[in-house]
A = this chain, B = another copy of it.
Amino acid sequence: MQRYFVSNQQMTENQVIILGEDATHIKKVMRMQTGHTIVCINQNQRAVLCVLDSIDNTGVRATVVEELTEKTELPIAVTIAQGLPKSDKLEWIVQKGTELGATGFLPFSASRSVVKWDQKKSEKKRERLEKIAKEAAEQSYRLNIPQIHDSANEKAVIDLIAHHTASIVLAEEQAKNGETSQFSKVLSSLTEGDSLLVIVGPEGGLSESEVDHFQEAGAIPCGLGPRILRTETASLATLAAISYQFELMR
């Protein structure tokens, strides 16, 4: 079933109006007609089954026929603070991370980030990542579109640590030294509704001083096991492990 995120204003108790690119998608890509059904989700995670009533140039109108009670959000709100990686890796991290349940992404300029984003590039990238997150959220049956934070620096990541129940920093050196149980200890300390910040370095990893600063601010250094994961694999492995712990081991 095709799914669309709409604003709260677009969804009343009994009716949904779909506008803009989503309306075009329904008309031109899916070639739907009145009588066809879709799922719409508003910003309060209200998901409803709707039947299309009218399709014209002003938009698509649909009537709510069923409230859906599916729960597809990860029980822990996970934000990925990702040191800016090369090429299109961030797009891929956002796409896969959205499927795997992340709540938000904060790209930050780490000392070993090769890529630099100026204000203009940063805004353009954010728009692109928001589009990828929205599509991935629809495709994976999410009830929330993950938030793409403005690209930031080390200080902004440190500020975020205080706003999360727990924070971990993935540190390759820790992984090399056989540190393997810390991550599972942190997960075991969390319960539904808690939040977790996961800090991941760029290709060259985080510098020692960055790890120190994050640690001083309260983040716990964790390894992900004996193999060395690429930066774009690390956050996804973390999210998959969180899903396993909180959704699959029940």
Q: Does A183 contact B (CB under 8 A)?
A: yes
- Known pairs A139-B230, A181-B248, A224-B248. 4 more at Cβ < 8 A? A100-B227, A142-B227, A180-B247, A241-B244
Interface residues of A (CB under 8 A from B): 70-72, 96, 99-101, 139-142, 180-181, 183-184, 224-230, 233, 236-238, 240-241, 243-245, 247-250
Q: How many copies does the complex hold?
A: 2
Contacts of A227 in B (CB 8 A): 72, 99-101, 140-142
**Pairwise interchain contact B140-A228, C-beta atoms closer than 8 A:** yes
**CB closest chain-B residue, reference A136:** B230
Determine the distance from Cα of A71 to Cα of B225 in the docked complex, in whole angstroms: 10
Question: Whole-angstrom distance from the CB of A236 to the nearest CB of chain B?
Answer: 6
Contacts of A245 in B (CB 8 A): 244
Determine the distance from Cα of A33 to Cα of B71 in the docked complex, in whole angstroms: 58
Complex A-B: 15 CB contacts under 8 Å? A71-B226, A72-B227, A96-B230, A96-B236, A99-B230, A100-B237, A142-B227, A181-B250, A183-B248, A225-B243, A225-B248, A237-B243, A240-B244, A241-B241, A241-B244
